[in-house]
Structure 1
Amino acid sequence: MSLLFVTTNAGKVREARDYLDADVTQFDYDYAEVQSDDLGEIAARGAREAYEAAGGDDPVIVDDSGLFVGGLDGFPGPYSSYVEDTLGIERVWELAADLDDRAAAFRSVVAYADGETVETFTGEVPGRIVAPRGTGGFGFDPIFEHDGETFAEMDTEAKNVVSHRGRALASLAEWLAER
Structure 2
Amino acid sequence: MAPPIHFITGNANKLREVKAILEPKIEIQSQSLDLEEVQGTIEEIANWKCRRAADLVNGPVLVEDTALCFNALGGLPGPYIKWFLDKTGHQGLNNLLAAYEDKSAEAVCTFAYSPGPGHDPIIFQGRTPGRIVPARGPSNFERWPGWDPVFEYEGKTYAEMESSEKNQISHRARALKKLQTWFESQQGTSA
TM-score interval w.r.t. the shorter chain? over 0.9
Return the letter of the residue paired with 2:12: A
1:47/1:61 contact within 8 Å kept? yes
* Secondary structure of residue in 2 paired with 1:97: coil
Return the letter of the residue paired with 2:71: G
Equivalent residue for 2:135, pick from 128, 132, 136: 132
CA deviation digits over 1:24-79, x for unaligned, max 9? 0101001112111x11111111111111111x23x100000011011122111010
Query: 1:69 aligned to 2:73?
Result: no
> TM-score of the superposition, structure 1-length normalised?
0.93
Equivalent residue for 1:161, pick from 165, 168, 176: 168
Structure 2 partner of 1:24: 28
Counterpart Cα distance in 1 of 2:20 and 2:43: 23
Structure 2 partner of 1:119: 122
Once superposed, what is the RMSD of the aligned Cα atoms?
Answer: 1.3
Counterpart Cα distance in 2 of 1:110 and 1:163: 13
How many aligned positions are there? 176
Structure 2 partner of 1:172: 179
Counterpart Cα distance in 1 of 2:140 and 2:61: 25
> Taking every aligned residue pair, what percent have the same amino acid on both sides?
38
* Secondary structure of residue in 1 paired with 2:62: strand
Return the letter of the residue paired with 2:170: S
1:97/1:130 contact within 8 Å kept? no
Structure 2 partner of 1:142: 149
Structure 2 partner of 1:84: 85
Post-superposition shift, 1:136?
Answer: 3.2
Counterpart Cα distance in 1 of 2:35 and 2:17: 21
Counterpart Cα distance in 1 of 2:98 and 2:134: 8
Query: 1:34 aligned to 2:38?
Result: yes
* Secondary structure of residue in 2 paired with 1:124: strand
Counterpart Cα distance in 1 of 2:170 and 2:38: 24
Map residues 91-110 of structure 1 onto 2, 5 A cutoff: 91-110=92-111
- 5+ unaligned residues in a row in structure 1: which ranges? none
1:136/1:155 contact within 8 Å kept? no
